[in-house]
Structure 1
Amino acid sequence: MDTSNLAPATDDADEKRIRELVARTQEAQADPDVLPALHTSDLVLINLGGRRLFGRETFVSAMTEALSSPLKDIRTTLEIDDIRFATPDVAIVSLTKTVHDERAEGDEGDDLPELPLTGAMTYVMTRTDGDWRISLAQTKPIR
Structure 2
Amino acid sequence: MIFMSATDISTREAEIEAIKQVVATVEHAQNNELPDEFVGLFRADAIWTTGGGKRLFGREAISTFTHQVLPGGMRGSTVTFEVEHVLFIRPDVAAVKVRQVYQTADGPDVGTPLFVMAKEDGQWRLTACQNTGVLDDE
User: CA contact under 8 A between 1:75 and 1:102: conserved in structure 2?
Assistant: no
Q: Which residue of 2 is the match for residue 12 of structure 1?
A: 13
Q: Decide which structure has greater helix share.
A: 2
TM (norm. structure 2) is 0.80
Q: Which residue of 1 is the match for residue 73 of structure 2?
A: 71
CA positional deviation for 1:40: 0.6
Q: Which residue of 2 is the match for residue 132 of structure 1?
A: 124
1:39 is the counterpart of 2:42: yes
Equivalent-residue separation in structure 1 for 2:114 and 2:20 (angstroms): 14
State how many pairs are aligned.
Answer: 125
TM (norm. structure 1) is 0.77
Note the aligned Cα RMSD (angstroms). Answer: 2.4
Q: How does 1:40-119 map to 2 (within 5 A)?
A: 40-68=43-71, 71-73=73-75, 74-101=77-104, 117-119=109-111
* Secondary structure in structure 2 of the residue aligned to 1:28: helix
CA positional deviation for 1:102: 5.6
Equivalent-residue separation in structure 2 for 1:123 and 1:37 (angstroms): 15
CA positional deviation for 1:46: 0.8
The residue identity in structure 2 corresponding to 1:71 is G
* Secondary structure in structure 1 of the residue aligned to 2:73: helix
**Percent of aligned pairs with the same amino acid:** 30
| 1:56-110 superposed Cα distances (whole Å, 9 cap, x missing partner) | 1111111111135x5342532111110110001100100111122369xxxxxxx
Q: Which residue of 1 is the match for residue 29 of structure 2?
A: 28
Higher RCO (CA-CA < 8 Å; seq separation 6+): 1
Equivalent-residue separation in structure 2 for 1:88 and 1:31 (angstroms): 30
Gaps of 5+ in 1: 1-7, 104-115
